[in-house]
Amino acid sequence: MTTILHTADWHLGKPFGQFSDPAKVAALQQARLDAVEALGQVADREKVDAVVVCGDLFDSPMATRAVVCQALHRIAKIPCPVYVIPGNHDHAGPGTLWHLPFFEAERASLAPNLTVLLERKPVELEGIVLLPCPLMQRHTSMDSLGWLTGPAVWAEVAPGKPRMVLAHGTVEAFGSDPDTTGMANYLDPGRLPPGEVDYVALGDWHGIRQVGPAAWYSGTPEPDRFPRGADYRAGCALLVKIAGRRAAPVVEPVETGRLTWVRLAVELDPGMEQDRLLCALEEVVGNRVGGHVVDMKLSGTLGLSALTALEDQVVRYRARVVELMVENRVLIAPNAEDLAALASRPQDPVIAKVAERLKKELESQNRELDRAALLALHRLVREKEAA
């Protein structure tokens, strides 16, 4: 039995440009490095024979020296050989990272268990033959599996050992046009000679997906985006066990990710109790600090007091999670209590006068501008009372 840990799309050094807080970006980048250590723990626990990384180990073909050294330091902790092919993000074109003397010197020094496969030729290991299909440029219209479609290559492959293809790209067209002619980085596993390959290890898609009887995407070991559908699963690697040549592989997902990316949609109404306004977020996050990236869409209507209570809870939970993004489409619906509290402030005659005028305008015209002005006035009162 040969056991391989199939992974891909580490994207170490990813800038996460959609996040503006440097501390949050650093937390997201650290989680990706932590995932490498998680892979090492799986490799140790399952006694795997090798780890294969099917492209995009780095987010860029010119990753910084710091990112490279951090990656190599963690790869060195993986207790077995690690084989990587370049993907589209970290392709192996001339002058890229993989060809630099710096990289080779640091690889030899920090992670001698790492082998970068830059040539399309069979690599024979003790229990399996690897058939690497590295990308030599970011986008190519040539199927990188093409070198495996002719008979000549199979004469060079040990006949008694299982064969595993390593490739990076997409197996289908997207959008309304099904034509894949000339599509960048298109892969067609159906072109592989029947019976010659025992497993096709793929990278590029960030969620686990089986695309053939023995062809799988492993997804990324640490989630880096919100789920694309109900069946989307990221934050894993695939444990692949092959008993021998022409034996059906046994494929098992194993968890490696630390962060959970969650989308929430919360419909609010004026009758909701203030301490349950964010019950959906409470159920997801609870008392756990860190560990979540949350995209929350709020809709419905709330009174002034309820809406400001909601804002307080958003601030509270934003400090608990890695990131909390809020799309607030809540409509302001001042109730009688809100309006009376603002208009009855003898200690603040100016605020009371403005509130009374806005109240009358709202009753006669029900303008959005008046509702927004009342909310601003309510916030001002809260600030004064908290000072």
Quickly state the pLDDT bin for 300 (edges 50, 70, 90).
confident
Ranked by mean pLDDT, the top range of 113-122, 167-176, 258-267, 378-387 is: 113-122
- Give the pLDDT of residue 290: 67
Residue 277 has a pLDDT of: 57
Q: Is the pLDDT assigned to residue 339 strictly greater than 80? A: no
pTM of this structure: 0.86
Three-class SS of the chain:
CEEEEEECCCCECCCCCCCCCHHHHHHHHHHHHHHHHHHHHHHHHHCCCEEEEECCCECCCCCCHHHHHHHHHHHCCCCCCEEEECCCCCCCCCCCHHHCHHHHHHHHHHCCCEEECCCCCCEECCCCEEEECCCCCCCCCCCCCHHHCCCHHHHHCCCCCCEEEEEECECCCCCCCCCCCCCCCECCHHHCCCCCCCEEEEECCCCCEEEECCEEECCCCCCCCCCCCCCCCCCEEEEEEECCCCCCCEEEEEECCCCEEEEEEEEECCCCCHHHCCHHHHHHHCCCCCCEEEEEEEEEEECHHHHHHHHHHHHHHHCCCCEEEEEECCEECCCHHHHHHHHCCCCCHHHHHHHHHHHHHHHHHCCHHHHHHHHHHHHHHHHHHHC
Least confident of 65-74, 116-125, 152-161, 237-246: 152-161
Question: Which range, 61-65, 332-336, 360-364, 371-375, has the best average confidence (pLDDT)?
Answer: 61-65
The confidence score (pLDDT) of residue 70 equals: 97
Output the pLDDT for position 177. Answer: 56
Higher pLDDT, 17 or 108: 108
pLDDT at 387 (0 to 100): 60
Task: Give the pLDDT confidence score for residue 378 in this predicted structure.
Answer: 75
Quick one: pLDDT band at residue 371, thresholds 50, 70, 90?
A: confident
pLDDT of residue 366: 65
- Answer yes or no: is pLDDT of 221 > 80: yes
What is the per-residue pLDDT for 141?
86
| Share above pLDDT 90 across residues of the chain, in percent, rounded to a whole number | 55
pLDDT over 80 (residue 338)? no
Residue 382 scores a pLDDT above 60:
yes
Query: Distance between terminal CA atoms of the chain?
Result: 70
Has residue 174 got a pLDDT over 60? no
More confident residue, 322 or 346: 322
Mean model confidence pLDDT for the chain: 88
Domains in the chain: ranges and CATH = 2-255 (3.60.21.10), 260-386 (no CATH)
Which pLDDT score is estimated for 86? 98
What b/e readout covers 317-334, taking b as 16+ CB neighbours within 10 angstroms?
beebbbbbebeeebebbb
| Residue 337: predicted pLDDT | 79
Which range among 160-174, 199-213, 262-276, 301-315 shows the weakest confidence by mean pLDDT? 262-276
